[in-house]
Amino acid sequence: MACILEAQGVCKYFGGLKAVEKVDMKIEEGSIFGIIGPNGAGKTTFFNICSGMYRPTAGKILFQGKDITGLPPESIARLGIARTFQNIQLFRYMTVLENVKIGFHIRTRSGFWNALAHDRRYRQEECFIEDEARAVIEKVGLSSYADTLASNLPYGLQRKVEIARALALKPRMLLLDEPVAGMNPLETRELSEFIIRLNAEGYTIVVIEHDMKFVMNTCHHILVLNFGQKICEGNPAEVRRNKAVNEAYFGKGLVVGGVA
């Protein structure tokens, strides 16, 4: 399988703080990739580098073989990487439908003069956006909330709206930052199944998460970060057994009853 995203020696320093230190990573196209690690390990910083929010202090990011290091977020979105945020950055005062419509921005091209004249391209694209946005909302199962204000939705549904909005870009790869944070076990399992279904349609999905059960059940391949460095990479079974990973989460002492 081809490698869709590759990180080569990525470092990010904020003054004296080494947030990410020489991380190498290869993500295979069509896989579900998990990034885990204790709080402050550098996971979201790494995401921000991949999605263009931060410029790495050193190292390269290659997307489908092309060097995307240092490109701004707008360009990276156009190349086919969509992301969601740890803090949920929905447009709070827009409805679910309006939120998702913004996601169609890069798939349409009508400009100033089209808008002024209400010409054919304008009308066609407006219909396209309306229909397709509703389709995406239907796909994540939020049709009944299409005209609800985003901030009025419960937390778990807001996360789904963010994913719907990201899907609107028709990306090659989805970066999901803590998608199941704050969800109960039932919602977590639903989202896990949803992500597996999306993956079956061809999306490569990268997930940052803390919920071990979710990660172990959903991901094909896992990268573990601690203090900004890679301490392990492999499939769920390998990661579970790995000594360094256990030490990172549970410390170096003995644990009663063995490892979880």
Binding site for another protein (CB under 8 A): 15, 51-53, 72-74, 77-78, 82-83, 85, 87-94, 98, 101-103, 105-106, 108, 110-112, 114-116, 118, 122, 125-126, 129, 149, 151, 165-166, 169
Closest to another protein by CB, 37 or 52 = 52
Residue 145: name the closest of 87, 89, 98 by CA. Answer: 98
Asked whether the beta carbons of 145 and 157 are under 8 A apart, the reply is: yes
Residue 164: name the closest of 55, 230, 91 by CA. Answer: 91
Residue type for position 234: G
Backbone angles phi and psi of 26, in degrees to 5: -130, 125
Alpha carbons 166 and 239: distance in angstroms, whole number? 29
Smallest distance, another protein to C-beta of residue 229, A: 24
Closest to another protein by CB, 3 or 106 = 106
Q: 32-36 and 204-208 as β-strands: parallel, antiparallel, unpaired? A: parallel
DSSP code string of 161-225: HHHHHHHTT--SEEEEESTTTT--HHHHHHHHHHHHHHHHTT-EEEEE-S-HHHHHHH-SEEEEE
Closest to another protein by CB, 81 or 223 = 81
Closest to another protein by CB, 35 or 129 = 129
Asked whether the beta carbons of 78 and 106 are under 8 A apart, the reply is: yes
Closest to another protein by CB, 29 or 98 = 98
